[in-house]
Amino acid sequence: MSGPAEVRCMLLRGGTSKGAYFLADDLPADPAARDDLLLRVMGSPDPRQIDGLGGGHPLTSKVAVVSVSADPLADVDYLFLQVSVDRAEVSDRQNCGNLLAGVGPFAVERGLVEPAEGRTAVRIRMVNSGDLAVASFPTEGGRVVYEGSAQISGVPGSAAPVVIEFPRGSGALLPTGHARDIVADTPVTCVDNGMPTVLIAASSLGVTGYETPKDLEEDLALADRLREIRLAAGKLMGLGDVENATVPKLTLLAPPRDGGAVMTRTFIPVRCHTSIGVLGAASVAAGLRVEGGVGHAVARPPERGDRLRIEHPTGFLDIEAGVDSGPGDALPAARRTAVVRTARKIFDGTVFPRPAGAASHF
Ligand code: NQM
């Protein structure tokens, strides 16, 4: 499959991820041709992605495709694509709330959205799920302001805050219809507040939940158990066969250590996240509020208000996630979610993909 020999591309850090951002018009319209091109742009499949833009980890092997939206409720459409590092696979089966932080700035940079003086709000339709988000960030003199004093764990220094709000999503908060299920002999809560996630008490897997991501990744017995849980939970959640899918994520829960509501270790779904995804955190936060869920015995969410702090391997993520418990036996539903992220333009230019048909040894 051949494609363009060069493509206009912007690299941005979005939250705790880094990705290549494209205008949809700059990529092939045919999804198979587009995905083939993106694999060659990122340097996949190769554990080091040495011949492309990817950084050798799922968190740095991401793509955002942005276009003007036909939806009257949105300014732009954002399609997220996870480019596998060591397999020739590109997946559109999940959203990414971290790359989402760069979508508004990118839309202004490319002239899709007119910036306001002071602050610009961009309404974004997340094509992967059909859900909406509104991102607002500082703009001055027609330009995006990236410098600022907001700090997020997992990113050195500070930058301008990008405030992201998610109205109530279209899907069910509890996709299995239960607050708790037993999957592969393990109690779990399957939750989806923007990211299908399986919550598991770390103690029920024989780990503390305070281990480093590296130590957890090296625990092969744990990896087998998590795989078994993921495959079974995926079916129960209506996701079908998730053997090669990037969802559901699995989040191990432990009591908080630093004044937050809960400590987490999240598998995405094989590598262990160095922090936590935005929508992953939204799902954890909502899941902790579910009466009878596995989080109840482990977490200490504040009694009042929607805001809570999720601890993770490199710090914490503060998030507001409201859940309505629903009358009688009705299942709880997510109300609104909001989070602060930062983003930064790293380069803007032309990327030269590896030629089509070049053999890979991996
Ligand atoms: O949950 C990683 C990330 C993500 C996804 C992953 C994300 C989110 O941290 O919204 O952003 O879960 O694969 O970028």
For residue 100, give the nearest of 348, 351, 338 by alpha carbon: 338
Q: Residue 212: its pLDDT value, please? A: 98
**Per-residue DSSP letter, 190:** E
147 and 185 co-located in one domain? no
- Band of pLDDT at residue 80, cut at 50, 70 and 90: very high
Closest Cα to atom 4 of ligand 1: 277
pLDDT of residue 332: 87
How many H helices and E strands in the chain?
A: 5, 17
- Inter-residue long-range contacts of 219-222, CB under 8 Å, 24+ positions, other chains counted: none
Is the alpha carbon torsion for 51, 4, 70, 170 positive or negative? negative
Whether residue 338 is contained in a domain is answered as no
Same domain, 198 and 260: yes
> Which residues, judged by CB distance below 6 Å to any ligand atom, belong to the binding site of ligand 1?
16-17, 58-59, 95-98, 195, 249, 268, 277-280
The ligand 1 atom nearest the CA atom of 281: 1
DSSP notation for 32-70: HHHHHHHHHHHT-S-TT-TTSS--SSGGGSEEEEEEE-S
**pLDDT number for residue 103:** 98
Q: Domain total for the chain?
A: 2
Residues 199 and 302 in one domain: yes
Supply the pTM of this predicted model: 0.92
Residue of 90, 96, 252 best suited for mutating to test ligand 1, as the one with most atoms within 8 Å of CB: 96
For residue 79, the CA-to-ligand 1 centroid distance in Å is 14
In this structure, the answer to whether residues 288 and 140 fall within a common structural domain is no
User: Relative to the CA of 278, which ligand 1 atom is closest?
Assistant: 10
To test the pocket of ligand 1, the residue of 124, 246, 278, 319 to mutate (highest count of ligand atoms within 8 Å of its CB) is 278
Residue 1, in any domain of the structure:
no
Which of 90, 94, 275 has most ligand 1 atoms within 8 Å of its beta carbon, as the pocket-test mutant? 94
**Protein residue whose Cα sits closest to atom 2 of ligand 1:** 277
CA distance 46 to 120: 39
Q: Domain for residue 335, yes or no?
A: no
Q: Which atom of ligand 1 is nearest to the CA of 95?
A: 10
Q: Span 4-13, mean pLDDT?
A: 96
Work out the widest C-alpha separation in the chain, in whole angstroms.
60
* pLDDT surpassing 60 at residue 160: yes
Asked if 112 and 255 sit in the same domain, the reply is no
Rounded percentage of the chain residues whose pLDDT exceeds 90: 89
141 C-alpha vs ligand 1 centroid, how far in Å?
A: 32
User: How far is ligand 1, taken at its centre, from the CA of residue 96, in Å?
Assistant: 5
**What confidence category does residue 324 fall into, taking pLDDT thresholds of 50, 70 and 90?**
confident
Helices 97-109/278-288 angle, 10° precision: 140
Confidence of residue 79 (pLDDT cuts 50, 70, 90): very high
Residues 147 and 256 in one domain: no
Tokens of 346: 């790293």
pLDDT at 361: 54
Rounded CA gap, 158 and 26, in Å? 31
Neighbouring residues of 44: CB distance < 8 A, sequence distance ≥ 6: 52, 54, 61, 83, 84, 85, 86, 87, 88
Residue 289 lies in a domain: yes
75 and 150 in a common domain: yes
Residues 225 and 276 in one domain: yes
Residue 188 lies in a domain: yes
Residue 156 C-alpha to ligand 1 middle, in angstroms?
18
Closest residue to atom 9 of ligand 1, CA basis? 277
**Residue 315 has which token pair?**
């710090």
The span from the CA of 103 to the CA of 109, in Å, is: 10
Least Cα distance to 16 among 69, 58, 77, 52 occurs for: 58
pLDDT band at 265 (very low <50, low <70, confident <90, very high): very high
Instruction: State residue 360's pLDDT score.
Output: 54
293 and 321 fall within a common domain: yes
Residues 301 and 347 in one domain: no
Best of 63, 93, 195, 319 to mutate for ligand 1, by most ligand atoms within 8 A of CB?
195
Q: Which domain holds residue 61?
A: 7-169+343-351
50 pLDDT more than 70: yes
Q: What is the CATH number of the domain that holds 89?
A: 3.10.310.10
Asked if residue 238 belongs to a domain, the reply is: yes
Tell me the three state secondary structure of residue 224. helix
pLDDT score at 152: 95
pLDDT of residue 112: 98
> What gap in Å lies between CA 121 and CA 162, rounded to an integer?
10
**What angle is formed at CA 279 by the lines to CA 227 and CA 179, rounded to 5 degrees?**
65
The protein residue with its alpha carbon nearest to ligand 1, atom 3, reads 277
Please compute Rg for the chain using Cα positions. 20
Same domain, yes or no: 148 and 14 = yes
The verdict on residue 176 lying in a domain is no
pLDDT on residue 166: 92
Let me know if residue 174 belongs to a domain.
no
State the pLDDT confidence band at 208, using cuts at 50, 70 and 90.
very high
113 lies in the same domain as 143: yes
